[in-house]
Structure 1
Amino acid sequence: MRLSDTSRVEGFSDAVFAIVITLLVLDLYHPGHRPGALASALAGAWPAYVAFIVSFVYVGVIWLNHHGLFRRIRSMDAGLLWINLAILFSAVIVPFPTAVLGYALAESGDLHDQRVAVVLYALVAAIMSAPWWGVFTYLREHPHLLEPGVSPRYLHAQRIRPLTGLVLYVACGLGGWFIAPAVGLVCIAAVILYHALTSEGLREGPLGRLFGAVKH
């Protein structure tokens, strides 16, 4: 079996994340306005700013998770390369639901459209969980690709995170549809925060250190 180091994959992946996070700003636009009403027009476009910030943080969190993952990978094989492409594929989709969400909240003004936009965003986020579950499952079955000292406990904990995210994102979509779009959006932001705080694992990340400090 032919193996390769991770340097080229990391460089390519970082470039993709950089492009995706830059493309998000294209969804911010100069709002139409009459003379003297620029300030109110800019203020009225606040939903687009919210969608941008949520997605900027989201892509940043994905990159943090990806960076944490590759610090534990020593070698790449064909299977791992394909899974990494699946992770990147899911990341490049983010600007689309971001644009839809920003338009529905800022321009459409229709409650049904806003519900659809929040459900779309939550659905895309849930789908993104699949390759992350796949990568940790694959690494568990191919431990020779890992750096020495990576424990099975870490892989087990990391396999749980995307499954948890999938369930929570689906719940966010349901909340956005049946309760209110704002509820779904706040829920999505909370799940993104969860993934940010556990990017180094449930025990090694900020949440683990926080709970460890509370216990002591």
Structure 2
Amino acid sequence: MNKNRLEAFSDGVLAIVITIMVLELRVPDEPTWHGLLGVLPTFLSYLLSFGYVGIYWNNHHHLIQLADRVNGRILWANLHLLFWISLFPFTTRWMDESGFLQVPVLVYGLNLLCAAIAFYVLQQSLIRQQGRDGALAQAVGKDWKGKASPFIYLSGIALSFLHPLLGVAVYTVVALIWLVPDRRLEHFVTQLHQG
């Protein structure tokens, strides 16, 4: 199967997720710095989730660029990932509107954990399709970020029981880890297009 339809559909879903999240941003009640300060938690929640969508979009793009073709297993793995990402607006809003209370922060962390697992499943499905000697398997390598992230999310979820903002801090750390681009993937994508 051609991979272009999968990539185009995924890009569309991610664009809709970002649109839904930005529509949740509300204008301050008053046109003052104090009014702007009142919506700061909402903006920071949006910023964190926007960062995550951007990270998934970027890494998804690299995965698909290195894929030769897709099959039914890959299509379902991709939908599995998109399902968890599509919940970001809901869990982000709930976390924000609750004032960062424990259960919404835990659910946000579970949402992030499930998306990370789904991304790993998609990545492994693409590697299985291409073979262990393929460009994607070589580019991913040991994938320490991908393997460590679920455990870091679990620690954030656990810390949320002590104080919800500790969980949010850990979720932010994971996002910061992933903001550092993986040059290996970019290198393999560049080689693919030059070769």
TM over 0.5, shorter chain: yes
Aligned residues: 187
Q: Distance in 1 between matches of 2:8 and 2:175?
A: 24
Alignment match, 2:25: 28
Alignment match, 1:9: 6
Q: Distance in 2 between matches of 1:157 and 1:87?
A: 21
Q: Any gaps of 5 or more consecutive residues in structure 2?
A: 187-195
The structure with the largest alpha-carbon Rg is 1
Q: Distance in 1 between matches of 2:19 and 2:76?
A: 24
**Taking every aligned residue pair, what percent have the same amino acid on both sides?**
26
Moved over 6 A (4+): none
Distance 1:185 1:133, change over 3 A: same
- Work out whether residues 81 and 119 of structure 2, in 8 Å CA contact, stay in contact via their aligned partners in 1: yes
Q: Distance in 1 between matches of 2:50 and 2:185?
A: 24
Q: Any gaps of 5 or more consecutive residues in structure 1?
A: 106-112, 206-216
Alignment match, 1:128: 115
Q: Distance in 1 between matches of 2:142 and 2:119?
A: 12
Q: Distance in 2 between matches of 1:95 and 1:40?
A: 26
RMSD (Å), alpha carbons:
2.5
Can you list the C-alpha shifts for 1:83-138, whole angstroms capped at 9, x where unaligned? 11111111111001110111122xxxxxxx61222211111100112222212322
- Work out whether residues 129 and 163 of structure 1, in 8 Å CA contact, stay in contact via their aligned partners in 2: no
- Work out whether residues 126 and 170 of structure 1, in 8 Å CA contact, stay in contact via their aligned partners in 2: yes
Alignment match, 2:135: 150
TM-score (norm 2): 0.84
Distance 1:118 1:163, change over 3 A: same
Q: Please give the residue correspondences for 1:58-77 in structure 2 after superposition, counting only pairs within 5 Å.
A: 58-77=52-71
Q: Per the alignment, in what secondary structure is the counterpart of residue 142 of structure 1?
A: helix
